[in-house]
Each structure stands twice: as structure tokens, then as C-alpha cells.
Amino acid sequence: MNKNSMLELLNKVKTGELSPEKAVTKMKTEPFEDLGFVKIDHHRELRQGAAEVIYGQGKTPQQIHGIVEAMIKSGGTDILITRMSEEAAELVKKDFDLDYYPIPKIGIAAKSNDKKAVGSIVVASGGTSDIAVCEEAALTAEVLGNNVTRLYDVGVAGLHRLIANLDVLANARVVIAVAGMEGALASVVGGLVDCPVVAVPTSIGYGANFGGVSALLSMLNSCASGVSVVNIDNGFGAGYLASMINKMPAIQD
């Protein structure tokens, strides 16, 4: 249930189409749905402004199919499935509309075409190897209703590539900086823009990268103000946080 469906329910009570008792019953039974293996939070969008997201890793294709089916029956659209296997995508596609992106392993079920995109989020990557994490962030932000610009392979090994896109960075409300190796991109971007920077360390790198730990520590120790850091390879978390920031109303003097 989202804000619109809640308002519709209350209006039905107001006009007499629905009794207050039945409305209370509907609200009590709507918050979550127990499928045995999962309890789907149907009120997530009402509370937080965005529907529950399905984390696909560790779930069977049948479980993902069951969750998607229940969410669609409840009126859900733009259902985001992260870390989704191709096997799960093929199963869901048999019964429901699904856009599947194999590189970031993202699925979007019951995609709506009337959602208005707002603001400006820039997703910048240190290298091409970081694109899977970048696309997880970018697609998450787009599903949540944000304008997203992609700047890929603009890492510090060739800083002129980033400098050539200063106009794009200058117009962003949020920048997501995604990098592995030593993770220096976040600090460089943080020193160039006047908006929040969400840094995403990736597990890309040689042995001493320690699976992304070196990039994580570099980003946490950034000397640039306004840089916040999410977990290693957490493109979804970055896209979600950037969306929240991007949609905040501008502070008026």
C-alpha cells in the first residue's frame, strides 16, 4: 500500500463506499503478507517513500517468483530485484513483465512508464571494471524516479577524463563515485563539487586491495568534505541514499 492507495481508502470511508470497520481491517491485514518463507512488507512505501526491494542472492528462483507475484497482486509496480540470477529472471519472465540487466544482475518487474524523473544524480566510475556496481546504483536511482547521468572510466590514472566533464559534475545534486584499487576517485570528486558525494568502494583490485578493503579505508579517510561511504560493492545502497538526497527540497533563505 502506498500513499495514493491509502488516500483512496480513506476517501471511500469519507464517501460511505467503505465502512470504517472494514477500512481498519484492511489496514491491519495490509502491512505485511506471510508466505511462509518471507514476510513481505507492503507498507514500506507508505512509511519510507519507496517499496520493499527484493535481494535476490541466496533466494531460489521460485521464492523470487512468489515474492514478485504477491507484490504485483498487492498493486506493486517498479519492483526492484537486486543480485538476481539469470535462472530466476527466466522464471519470472514466464508470468510477468520483467526487464533484466545481466551485468549488474538487476531485475525490474511491472515497470511503470509514467514515473517522472527529477533532479540530477551523476554516477562516476574509476574504471570499466567497476561498471557492474555503477549500474546497480544507476538503475536503483532511476527506478526510484531520478535523472541519472553516467560517467564511466574517469579514474585518477587519467584525470583529464574527469576534468573534461566538470560541467556535468557541477550540475549534479548528488555524485556517486565508484572505484576499486586505492579508491582515490571519491576524494578527487569531493574536492571539485559543491554537492554530497556518495562513495562506493569496489572489490576490484590486486591482492593488497583485500577485496575492496583498501578502497573502503581510503574513502573513509577522505580529506574532502561532504564524502560519505557505503559498503563494498553496495551500488544499491548508494543509489537509494543518493535518491533520498536528490529528492530533498532545496533550503530556502
What's residue 25's pLDDT?
64
pLDDT at 23 over 70: no
Of 251, 184, 253, nearest to 224 (Cα)?
A: 184
Are 170 and 230 found together in one domain? yes
What's residue 59's pLDDT?
93
Is position 224 within any domain? Answer: yes
pLDDT at 204 over 60: yes
Are 156 and 79 found together in one domain? no
What's residue 217's pLDDT?
95
Average pLDDT over residues 17-21: 78
Contacts of 15 (CB under 8 A, 6+ apart): none
Q: Which DSSP letter does residue 206 get?
A: -
Are 97 and 175 found together in one domain? no
Q: Determine the longest span between alpha carbons in the chain, in angstroms.
A: 67
pLDDT digits (tens, 9 = 90+) for 53-66: 889 999 999 999 99
Of 227, 223, 205, nearest to 214 (Cα)?
A: 205
Are 180 and 139 found together in one domain? yes
Cα angle at 30 between 26 and 32, to 5 degrees?
155
Are 124 and 79 found together in one domain? no
Task: List the grid coordinates of 50.
Answer: 519507496
Split at pLDDT 50, 70, 90, the class of 215 is very high
Domains in the chain, number: 2
Evaluated on CA atoms 241, 180, 88, 121, the torsion sign reads: positive
Are 105 and 139 found together in one domain? no
pLDDT at 32 over 70: no
pLDDT at 33 over 80: no
pLDDT digits (tens, 9 = 90+) for 172-193: 999 999 999 989 999 999 999 9
Are 75 and 154 found together in one domain? no
Is position 26 within any domain? Answer: no
Average pLDDT over residues 154-163: 89
8 Å CB contact between 20 and 11: no
* Structural domain for 165, as ranges: 118-246
Is position 253 within any domain? Answer: no
pLDDT digits (tens, 9 = 90+) for 72-87: 887 788 889 999 999 9
Residue given cell 491491519 in the structure block: 28
pLDDT digits (tens, 9 = 90+) for 90-143: 999 999 999 999 999 999 998 888 878 999 999 999 999 999 999 999 999 999
What's residue 253's pLDDT?
43
Cα angle at 203 between 199 and 205, to 5 degrees?
110
pLDDT at 26 over 80: no
> What percent of the chain has a predicted confidence (pLDDT) above 70?
85
Are 50 and 168 found together in one domain? no
Split at pLDDT 50, 70, 90, the class of 13 is confident
pLDDT digits (tens, 9 = 90+) for 240-249: 999 999 998 8
Is position 91 within any domain? Answer: yes
Is position 20 within any domain? Answer: no
Is position 214 within any domain? Answer: yes
Question: What is the rounded distance in angstroms from the CA atom of residue 184 to the CA atom of residue 250?
Answer: 29
What's residue 16's pLDDT?
82
Last residue in a domain, options 63, 81, 109: 109
Q: Which DSSP letter does residue 252 get?
A: P
- CATH code of the domain containing 155: 3.40.50.1970
Task: List the grid coordinates of 139.
Answer: 538503475
Task: Please give the mean pLDDT across all residues of the chain.
Answer: 87
Are 89 and 201 found together in one domain? no
What's residue 252's pLDDT?
46
Is position 59 within any domain? Answer: yes
Average pLDDT over residues 32-48: 66
Last residue in a domain, options 76, 109, 142: 109
Last residue in a domain, options 74, 109, 144: 109
Is position 161 within any domain? Answer: yes
Are 188 and 161 found together in one domain? yes
pLDDT at 251 over 60: no
Are 35 and 89 found together in one domain? yes
Are 153 and 202 found together in one domain? yes
